[in-house]
Amino acid sequence: MNDSTHNSGSAVLINNLTRHFGDFTAVDHISLKVDYGEIFGFLGANGAGKTTAIRMLCGLLMPSGGSGEVAGYDIYKQAESIKKHIGYMSQKFSLYPDLTGRENLTFYGAAYNLRPADLSDRIHELTERLELGEFINQLSGKLPIGWRQRLALAAAILHRPRILFLDEPTGGVDPVFRRRFWSILYDLADSGVAVFVTTHYMDEAEYCGRISIMHHGSIIEQGRPFDLKRQHGTDSLDDLFINLILSQEATRA
């Protein structure tokens, strides 16, 4: 693969990225940078524009304006190259419910052009690491939600992507599993993967290296959780988030 020219630089670099749906502006001139090996948290209430932003970065949605690069490739013109280097886990379970976990992973392995021998090793490795166990041989639509999320994560990292996009990956799962899920994300980041994760759980935001807070399509604050708390003179991200949103609402009104 011709990756050498793209190894340096940022995993994600966007400038004034914007998306309109008719009169509605879902994402309004956002700019940010995510480095390899970093866990970047994308915070915001439902409808803040997080998913729209992620879908533009993954090549699923055309931006209306602004510029951006993912893995060093242009998001307008080189979406096909971007797709080789990213993994994506959507908010809604999007693997095939009528296929078993193993069949899903085998299929996605082929979609990423993994060689059959490598693929079966990789599936074995991920089954161990994500403790999927016997669940991998069951129809994925019948799995409990926590296991489905693990399977979806396995599918997203199967091909060893350099950038991982996770859209509310822990929605509806129990705290024990969330803790385990985040430890896996730390491992990935340690190995140099850029993890771009949206959430509206403030305790999860604490785990991120840097966060950006989105409100009505705009980024209203960005930085390391520790620094942000100090700047705003609060010791909880919860308070920080709520204060920010309230002051925004006040200036809008």
Q: Centre a 10 Å sphere on the Cβ of residue 84 and count the other Cβ atoms it contains.
A: 15
79 binds another protein (CB under 8 A): yes
Question: How many residues in the shown chain lie near another protein by CB under 8 A?
Answer: 29
Distance CA 67, CA 46 (A): 25
Pick between residue 22 and residue 233 the one whose CB is nearest to another protein: 22
Q: Which stretch binds another protein (CB under 8 A): 6-14, 27-35, 95-103, 128-136?
A: 95-103
Nearer CB in complex with another protein: 49/59: 59
CA angle at residue 8 from 6 to 13, to 5 degrees?
80
Asked if 60 touches another protein (CB under 8 A), the answer is yes
Query: Residue 55: which of 72, 36, 68, 37 has the closest Cα?
Result: 68
Q: How far is the CB of 31 from another protein (least distance, A)?
A: 22
How many angstroms separate the CA atoms of 208 and 39, rounded? 5
Burial of 133 (0-12, 13-18, 19+ CB in 10 A): exposed
**Pattern 140-159, another protein, x by CB under 8 A:** ---------------x----
- In one-letter notation, the amino acid at residue 63 is P
Contact residue for another protein among 10, 106, 198, 212 (CB under 8 A): 106
| Candidates 34-42, 59-67, 185-193, 208-216; binding stretch for another protein (CB under 8 A) | 59-67
Side-chain half-sphere CA neighbours of 134 within 13 A: 0
**From 86-94, 179-187, 210-218, 240-248, span contacting another protein (CB under 8 A):** 86-94
What binding mask, one character per residue, do residues 220-239 give for another protein by CB under 8 A, x or -? --------------------
Tell me whether residue 78 or residue 234 sits nearer to another protein (CB atom).
78
Task: List binders of another protein among 113-142 (CB under 8 A).
Answer: 113
Listed residue (37, 40, 33) closest to 10, CA to CA: 33
Asked if 58 touches another protein (CB under 8 A), the answer is: yes
Q: Any idea of the CA torsion for 179, 185, 190, 192, to the nearest 10 degrees? A: -170
- Residues 13-42, interacting with another protein (CB under 8 A): none
- C-alpha 252/C-alpha 141 separation (Å) is 44
End-to-end alpha-carbon separation of the chain, Å?
52
Provide the token pair at 179.
Answer: 């803790």
Q: Would you state the torsion angle of the CA atoms of residues 118, 120, 122, 128, taken in this order, to the nearest 10 degrees?
A: -160
> Which part of the chain contacts another protein (CB under 8 A), choosing from 107-115, 123-131, 198-206, 221-229?
107-115
By CB under 8 A, residue 3 contacts another protein: no
Is residue 146 classed as helix, strand or coil in its secondary structure?
A: helix
Q: Which lies closer to another protein via its Cβ, residue 95 or residue 205?
A: 95
* Interacting residue ranges for another protein, rule: CB under 8 A: 55, 58-62, 79-80, 83-84, 86-88, 90, 92, 94-96, 98-99, 103, 106-108, 110-113, 155
